[in-house]
A and B are shown apart, each in its own frame.
Chain A
Amino acid sequence: MGELAIELKGIDKSFGLVHANKDINLKVRKGTIHGIIGENGAGKSTLMSILYGFYQADRGEILVDGRAISIRDPNAAIAAGIGMVHQHFMLVENFTVLENVMLGAEDSWILNAGITKARAELKRLEKEYALEVDPDAVIEELPVGLQQRVEILKALYRKADILILDEPTGVLTPAEADHLFRILEQLKAQGKTVILITHKLREIMAITDEVSVMRRGEMVATRETDKTSVEELAELMVGRRVLLRVEKGAAHPGDVKLSVKNLTVRDGRGVTMVDDVSLDLRAGEIVGIAGVAGNGQSELLEAIAGIRRAVSGRVELNGRAIDVTGHADPAELRQRGLAHVPEDRHHVGLVLKFEESENAILGYHDDPKYRKGFILDVDAIRADAEEKIQKYDIRPPNARLKTANFSGGNQQKIVLAREMERGPDVLIIGQPTRGVDVGAIEFIHKRIIEMRDQGKAVLLVSVELDEIRALSDRILVMFAGRVVGERAPDASEGELGLLMAGVEGPKEAAQ
């Protein structure tokens, strides 16, 4: 056993009635990568927030390098050599990389000298850890993977020896994730300690030295990664055996429910994001759209759902046109049987400041069953929400809790419950299991297949190739805004990967 970088003793934390961390003990060895896994709402983010000084524990001790210290706020954490990369980046969008890295760590009121020094230091860090980023690039113009690197640079610039990453790969493409892991390996080689929270057990197996499992606020086990397996970890997390494979029967496609013809969509800057896409979606089938993030899948979903205007093309729902190039009305589309689980639950699918029950009716708030005359029937709304909470095992089961206070995976379930429980004819889903734990993934996948078996048409977009392959009856691959190929779900990962990279696309795609 090497030296301990961090030791937590008896950490306890409650939010009102929610006991988020119960008497947690944790030892993280110096110079290792330590994984933390657990169901949604298990208390992982809370524990890390305590370590980083965002929250104060009710009880318990924090030891860094063997010394008990008090971490009242993030500044104290930074002083103790702890850095954190949040799932939602905390960068100033219109500042450059260099400015963001320096922000709050300037040496003096006069910036010039500091800038030169910071630039030199940044160069050194980039070299040492393979963290290449252009220091003069403006943040908002960088892809998320690079933005994340800036967050890491920020922590290293502040001399962090211990780096906490909370679900860092949720937003990354596979290639970006690979690069991130190379960086983490490099950090480890230099003697830094890394704490990694993720829901992807594969990542845990690939990169960590040790892994700790949380369940319902408790630390239930710590394992050496070499000596455990995905199955064991999944079972430790959920407390029962988890089906990691999706079981589904053959599809019985029926009539065309959603037909898309020559759809073209441009983004705000006039860049063509969806380029002449056509597809048919039938009752009783799941069509998966595979592709590296940013190749037009998001815009395709948004255009169909009526929240982004298309430039040209025709979309029909149940044989009737949707005015995608004009004023498509999402409320009307819902009534016509289209449900939409948006990719970005935080900004689009939910109002984080609402209480849970208010989000459970978002988009369906016009339904007369939620009203008595002019007045909203709050009791009916809450009863309805509680029913969904039961059915989807949303935790904590409190319809009056503010949505922002649910853990990420439970927020996702709120959206899924709302959209699926309506029994829509057509369900379009973006990233259904982003940030969701294995137990919930199993549940969500089952529900999606159930919908299909009830004769619903499902259009699925996910950057998780595994998920696409497991659920889809047909796979369409998008690259640079075009559908570059259709494959059966048993196509090999390599074949799909090449298509996704635009290597094997039909000739017209390569113009």
Chain B
Amino acid sequence: MSTPYAKLPGWVEYGLIPLVNLLVAFAVAGLVVLLVGESPLEAAYHMINGAFGRGEYIGFTLYYATTFIFTGLAVAVAFHAGLFNIGGEGQAYVAGIGVALACLWLDRLMPWYVVFPIAILGAALFGAAWAFLPGWLQAKRGSHIVITTIMFNFIAASLMNYMLNRVMKPLGSMSLETRTFDAGGQLPKLDWLMAMFGLSVGTSPFNVTFLLALAAAFGVWVLIWRTKLGYEMRTMGHSPQAARYAGIKEARIIVITMMISGALAGMMALNPIMGETYRMQLDFVQGAGFVGIAVALMGRSHPAGIIPAAILFGVLYQGGAEIAFEMPSISRDMIVIIQGLVILFAGALEHMFRPAITRAVLAFSGRGRTDAAVKGA
């Protein structure tokens, strides 16, 4: 009896409750906007218009969502095995090397559709390698994965600083980035997809990585619910004792899970590097690894929940940028506060309204209010 209250129908559990949480988050965010003397309605207008108002805006929203799908999936996979991978940020960052190497090597020789698969492999490999060590330390030495992955984020930042300063920067250049890739290192935009809805991508970097993200989401679903490895991961996540009893090799599962998680986080690097800037820049991850934690939390670690959650955060990013642009007294930091509120209400305080909603739903469907309940009190 983990939840002492009644089991709710699916549309309440996965529809109504998240929606209420979200509305409350926006209401509180609106109060914050009021506090700095701006109109919440205007902010809401810019948020929605900025995210959906034009094909180009939608392109940006989905571009961000692509990134968050990867990092969200990364956190979710680890979570199913009972591991909390905070290191998505560092894994994605280091994976940039894999992507950049593939592009620098082949961009002038091959078309994008040859370079892309190799870059995917490079991203996955470097991301997995960066997650391997914390996984191995957890499995063999019992070093807590939360601590080690956080430390590895810092190490990744220093490593990348060094790489871009000393190794991967073209000679004579002043900025900390690789050279710009030629055609082979540039992913095509998804204008055909937008055109199907009568929209245009405009200048937005909405590119084929989005399709890869959707495929990855499906792949994660298969992995978790339809493979032996996924079965063993879930067993371990729910009950380490049962896993031992079943002969599941804990150390092996931890290491493999972390590597898959790292590979997924790593694939995020394709989106900005090959899809937007066509070069690797300092700090290209920009916190997407951490956003992944919130996305996985909101999406209940299920791919079908992660995709909408990632889109929501895409809206917050893109719409937020628009607010900051149109309403100068609302700074970027305010946008971060609003995002924080969403995480707080939709993730951390997820259960706050549950009892009340449960009661309301039961009363409405006429099941909770028994004769006794009416006569009582």
Please report A residues at the B interface, Cβ cutoff 8 Å.
15-16, 49, 54-62, 68-74, 305-307, 329-334, 340, 342, 344, 347-354, 358, 362-363, 365-366, 371, 374-376, 378, 404
Contact = CB atoms under 8 A, between A and B. Distances in A.
Interface residues of B, number: 33
Contacts of A342: 245
B245 A61 contact: no
Nearest to A347: B241
Contact of A68 (B7, B231, B241, B376): B376
Contacts of A306: 247
A57 B372 contact: yes
B368 interface: yes
Nearest to B362: A56
A376 B226 contact: yes
Contacts, number: 109
B372 A61 contact: yes
B242 interface: yes
A371 B226 CA distance: 9
Interface of B is mostly: helix
A363 B231 CA distance: 11
Given A351-B235, A371-B228, A340 B245 contact: yes
Interface in B213-233: 222, 226-228, 231-232
Contacts of B2: 404
Contacts of A376: 226-228, 231
Contacts of B232: 365
B52 to A, nearest CB: 38
Contact of B228 (A58, A363, A365): A365
8 contacts: A15-B7, A16-B7, A56-B367, A60-B371, A60-B372, A72-B373, A73-B4, A362-B245
B6 interface: yes
B1 A49 contact: yes
A362 B235 contact: yes
B245 A330 contact: yes
A423 B320 CA distance: 63
A208 B241 CA distance: 38
B373 A375 contact: no
B231 A347 contact: no
A158 B163 CA distance: 65
A344 B242 CA distance: 10
Contact of B244 (A16, A330, A404): A330
3 shortest A-B CB distances, which residue pairs?
A331-B247, A70-B376, A330-B247
A333 B228 CA distance: 19
B284 to A, nearest CB: 34
Given A70-B377, A348-B241, A363-B247, 6 more contacts: A56-B362, A61-B375, A69-B372, A342-B245, A365-B228, A365-B232
Contacts of A330: 244-247
Contact of A307 (B245, B367, B370): B245
Contacts of A363: 245-247
Contact of A374 (B227, B362, B370): B227
B46 interface: no
